Amino acid sequence: MDVDKLVNYGLPNTVVEVLKKRGIRSLNPVQAEAIMKGLLSGKNLVVASPTASGKTLIGELALVKTALEDGMGLYLVPLRALASEKYDEFKSWQELGLRIGISTGDYESPGEYLARYNIVVATYERFDSLLRLKPRWLDRIRTIVVDELHMIGDPERGPVLEMIIARLRNTGVQIVGLSATISNADVLAEWLEGELIRSDWRPVRLVEGAFDRRRHTIVFVDGRKEKVVHRLGSSALSIALHSVERGIQVLVFVNNRRKAEEWAFRLSEHMNILAHLIDKNRLEELLSRLSESPSRKEREMLEKLLRKGVAYHHAGLTSIARKVVEEAFRERIVKAVFATPTLAAGVNLPARRVLVSIKRYDPYRRRMVGIPVFEYKQMAGRAGRPMYDDIGEAIIYDAASILEASKYIRGEPEPVISRLNNERSLRIHTLSLIATGQAQSIKELIKVYRETLFFKQYGSTRYLENLLDNIVDELIDWDMVIYRSGILEPTRIGTLTAITYLDPLSVHRYLSLVKDEVGTFYLLHLIAYTPDYLRSKPYINYKVVDYLEPEAWDLAEEGVIPDPPQDEFDYQLWLQAFVQAKMLHDWINEVTEDNIVSKYGVGPGDIYSARDTAAWIASGLSRIERQRNHDIADKLEKLSMRLEYGVKEDALELVKIEGIGRVRARILLSHGIRSIRDLAKMTVEELSKLPTFGPKISETVIREAKARIEVHD
């Protein structure tokens, strides 16, 4: 379909011109079918098609039409990195006068400022929090695009997304779900009462294959065979070197971080022959950006690799490092990236050739097991770069046999199944429904839950009623809900728990263990002991945990942390929480990132992820403590800020100035500059003499300090 024909479906010529400026002159078959099935007339749609088949543009067109008709549109994604990527893509619509916004955090803010935008990109969790806080602009929403709709099957994010959709059903809001190919897309379309667009079309043809280890040959389904002469002790390494020598850029999925880093360095030892092909000027620009990473170890490791045209990518990297690696790969300065599978569901980073591992270690079975077919398809879908490649190649490198590989290549992805059937999800969303007044009885709760995929797939009202009875009884026992005159009402604690987006069990556990007189480390331990923290905690090796166990007992006896529980399972959680609290305690006492990385065996990115989670929990608990103990509430509020910035208490005022982080704040304090007023009195020449303060940053910092004082005065 020619893009000019979009005017026949209600879009003005100005939209067509924006598309042409982006190089889009015709719609592909998936996009054209979406238009013809009612995308621009407000119909609900589920689009299930491969990676890179143009699904984002389908969502954009629906949002733009809504925005031009004075409605508000939301584009929901599972990850912050993906939100940033989509936000940058959507900025091209600003030339039509549309305002594009983004919101990915701050669960306690009602986000009233978002009313000024026509299109907002948000994470699932952020929009779920907005549904609880009820900003005035919610009734302006006319279209919601749900990216990665298949995430409903994810144990963590799935229930959040499912409840968002359940609460929006029957409100008149258009819902457009975008998904990778799944076997039961028809079930999702039926649930949404929408049209289904299912397609296998890809802009770049995907050819799948597997490595025959016995013959040391790649066998493709189209009949091609490639002999791999290199023998580097690993099939993935051998194929990667074979590929880059043939001028093929390669993305290698590895099942753990340590191996990703190790293999990147091993491949780099064989890359000297290709080093002359790297654009040296662009490389130096990227390395200059990498120098902003606070981790010296990270900078040094990645610089060595980037100079050889190799990199690794995983959640342990800082955001600066991840962006540098992604950009270097897109610009083909990096020829090979070793990445953990999280990349497959994250940013758009296609490669001509993708090497896929179908094995993963199962800690419960204590052995390697096969991954789901859907996960394989997600990784394989990254193969093939539109506008660069005629084909994309996905190669399974660790199958025991060609027969095992063919089960993945020819297999159907598993159906998406609701994950709402667990206590944690049900208590969080049940409290939210009661706290927002959307349900005031078991009957009304059931009415909402009947709109879920969970109910559609299980279909038993009696089963659902029994589940909700137990959950509500628990919330009543925890003083978060009261039953009065036949109506379920939230208590003040219950309302605050819902607003702060905390798990009710986190708040209950905290309140049952907190004392009237507690120190900072005690609070850190309670924060790290909450389900909200433990479910996303960075992995710390059991050897570190075992080494620190005696210290945990000593501090418990001294009352510095809570007493250990009797139950063995709870004891292990308590012990893990202690080690996590130790790491966070080092962070707020300005221990360097590299020392924390070395001491606990985590990545710099893990530190920031743990910091963000702990700061959010501390802030939420502070609001709850305002109802009970103002002194502890103040301590938690201050602790949240210290966690955010990674500083001792005396640096809190200085780090409020943009450009002053934990390192610069300590430099200022060591030179007798203790407040914003002290800073404002300095000259640019004086400040520039201090380490890490050049003339440019000094001028900016002093200007902001003076501005803050003027506002305060």
The pLDDT confidence band at residue 712, using thresholds 50, 70 and 90, is low
Laid out side by side, the sheet with 72-77 consists of 100-103, 119-123, 72-77, 141-146, 174-179, 45-48, 195-198
Type and span of the H or E element at 310: strand 310-313
The pLDDT confidence band at residue 107, using thresholds 50, 70 and 90, is confident
Closest of 212, 181, 184, 216 to residue 199, by C-alpha: 181
Mean pLDDT across the chain, nearest whole number? 94
Domains of the chain in start order, with CATH, are 3-198 (3.40.50.300), 205-409 (3.40.50.300), 424-496 (1.10.10.10), 504-646 (1.10.3380.30), 654-712 (1.10.150.20)
Kindly report the backbone phi and psi dihedral angles of residue 497, in degrees, each rounded to the nearest multiple of 5, phi listed first.
Answer: -60, -45
Token reading at 599: 């001491």
From its phi and psi, is residue 479 left (phi > 0), alpha (psi between -120 and 50) or beta? left
Tell me, what's the pLDDT at 266? 96
Q: Please name every residue paired with 101 in a beta bridge, in sequence order, or none if there are none.
A: 120
The whole-angstrom separation of Cα 325 and Cα 331 is 10
Average pLDDT estimate for 38-62: 94
Query: Residues, the chain, total?
Result: 713
Tell me, what's the pLDDT at 345? 67
pTM for the model stands at 0.92
Report the percent of the chain where pLDDT is more than 70: 99
Closest of 106, 121, 115 to residue 136, by C-alpha: 115
- Tens-digit pLDDT profile for residues 628-649: 899 999 999 999 999 999 999 9
Model confidence at 274: pLDDT above 80: no
Tell me, what's the pLDDT at 366? 78
- Tens-digit pLDDT profile for residues 116-147: 999 999 999 999 999 999 999 999 999 999 99
Model confidence at 476: pLDDT above 70: yes
Token reading at 49: 């098609």
Average pLDDT estimate for 85-113: 92
